[in-house]
């Protein structure tokens, strides 16, 4: 089983649309994992049935039992996150500020503080329109995307792929260069970098590649909207050469990306011409290299 992860460093490069198209082309040979849990959009294109839904708990949160609290203020004094304000004379934990460090219960003279498991979101195992399985999630509001939910989604996808004897796990990776993308990348066999020829696109590509390079994972790149700025496109291409990253394909700036999305379709379902051809070739190439 191979694990292929698609990442882009920044948003708006068309990563999810491209991943969805690859997933469509992969049909029943793949298991799909949407690890972009902050802004999980894949389900809008893949028609999942949300077959199984489960809560995900990660980390802790403090709660003060008012009946046992003697208002000594010790907890508020030691909390480094200003998470225990006094409201109407009562010490109350602000759930959005509490880091779950567990320090306050250790200083409370009356044992009035409980540490509770925190529900950070939901995760799903669904059957999608291609008949295969997708694992995806929804992060709760203000939850800490520590990468644990991402890791969980990915591991479930891997487990299912093994069980069902699927060749490939295709992962829509998280944005940024922090914890979640680290979780998306670990264990990957091949990384597809999606970028666009803008000054920020190139800048973010370099930054996220630093990370990929640290993991020592072979990578290939798809340049989306390549004709938007031929000069930056050329810069990207020379960066790819220099770092020995395969140039999988260049896609033109095309309003069909949005048009397909508006109909809830992947690009390869919607477009029968140029984009379809390039993406079909890209998928063949990726399967061959990975």
Q: Please give the residue ranges that form the binding site for another protein (CB under 8 A).
A: 9-13, 16, 36, 38-39, 41, 44, 60, 78, 80-81, 96, 99-103, 106, 139, 141-145, 147, 175-179, 182, 196-201, 203-204, 207, 210-211, 225, 228-229, 232, 253, 255, 258, 261-262, 264
Neighbours of 272 (CB within 10 A): 9
As measured in angstroms, the least distance from the Cβ of 204 to another protein is: 6
As measured in angstroms, the least distance from the Cβ of 229 to another protein is: 4
| 74 part of the interface to ligand SF4, by CB under 6 A | yes
| 81 part of the interface to ligand SF4, by CB under 6 A | yes
| 245 part of the interface to ligand SF4, by CB under 6 A | no
Angle made by CA atoms 64, 68, 69, in degrees to the nearest 5? 60
As measured in angstroms, the least distance from the Cβ of 130 to another protein is: 19
- C-alpha atoms less than 13 angstroms from C-alpha of 98 in its C-beta half-sphere: 26
As measured in angstroms, the least distance from the Cβ of 114 to ligand SF4 is: 10
Residues 95-124 that bind ligand SF4 (CB under 6 A): 98-104, 108-110, 112-113
Q: What are the backbone dihedrals phi and psi of residue 111, each rounded to the nearest 5 degrees, phi first?
A: 55, 40
| 69 part of the interface to ligand SF4, by CB under 6 A | yes
Structure tokens at 74: 């010790």
As measured in angstroms, the least distance from the Cβ of 42 to ligand SF4 is: 34
By beta-carbon proximity to another protein, the closer residue of 163 and 230 is: 230
Which residues does 37 contact at the CB level (< 8 Å), separation at least 6? 121, 136, 137, 138, 139, 145, 149, 150, 153, 174, 180
By beta-carbon proximity to another protein, the closer residue of 111 and 255 is: 255
Collect contacts of 267-275 with beta carbons under 8 A, ≥24 apart: 267/17, 267/18, 267/20, 267/21, 268/21, 268/24, 268/25, 269/24, 275/251
């Amino acid at each position: 089983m191979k694990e292929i992860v698609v990442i882009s460093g920044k948003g708006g490069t068309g990563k999810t649309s491209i991943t969805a198209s690859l997933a469509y082309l992969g049909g029943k040979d793949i298991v799909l994992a949407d690890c972009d849990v902050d802004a999980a959009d894949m389900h809008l294109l893949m028609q999942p049935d949300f077959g199984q839904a489960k809560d995900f708990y990660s980390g802790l949160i403090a709660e003060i039992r008012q009946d046992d609290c003697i208002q000594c203020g010790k907890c508020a004094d030691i909390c480094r996150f200003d998470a225990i304000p006094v409201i109407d004379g009562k010490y109350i934990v602000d759930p959005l500020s509490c880091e779950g460090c567990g320090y306050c219960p250790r200083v409370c003279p009356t044992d009035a503080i409980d540490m509770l498991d925190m529900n950070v979101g939901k995760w799903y195992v669904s059957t999608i329109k291609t008949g295969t399985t997708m694992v995806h999630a929804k992060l709760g509001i203000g939850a800490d995307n520590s990468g644990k939910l991402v890791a969980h989604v990915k591991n479930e996808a891997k487990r299912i792929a093994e069980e069902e004897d699927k060749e490939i796990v295709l992962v829509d990776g998280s944005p940024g260069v922090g914890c979640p993308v680290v979780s998306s990348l670990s264990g990957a066999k091949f990384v597809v970098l999606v970028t666009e020829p803008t000054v920020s696109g190139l800048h973010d590509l370099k930054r996220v590649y630093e990370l990929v390079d640290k993991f020592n994972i072979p990578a290939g790149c798809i340049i989306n909207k390549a004709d938007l700025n031929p000069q930056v496109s050329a810069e990207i291409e020379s960066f790819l050469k220099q770092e020995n990253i395969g140039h999988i394909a260049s896609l033109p700036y095309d309003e069909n990306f949005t048009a397909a999305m508006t109909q809830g379709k992947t690009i390869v379902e919607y477009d029968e011409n140029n984009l379809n051809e390039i993406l079909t070739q890209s998928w063949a190439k990726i399967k061959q290299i990975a």
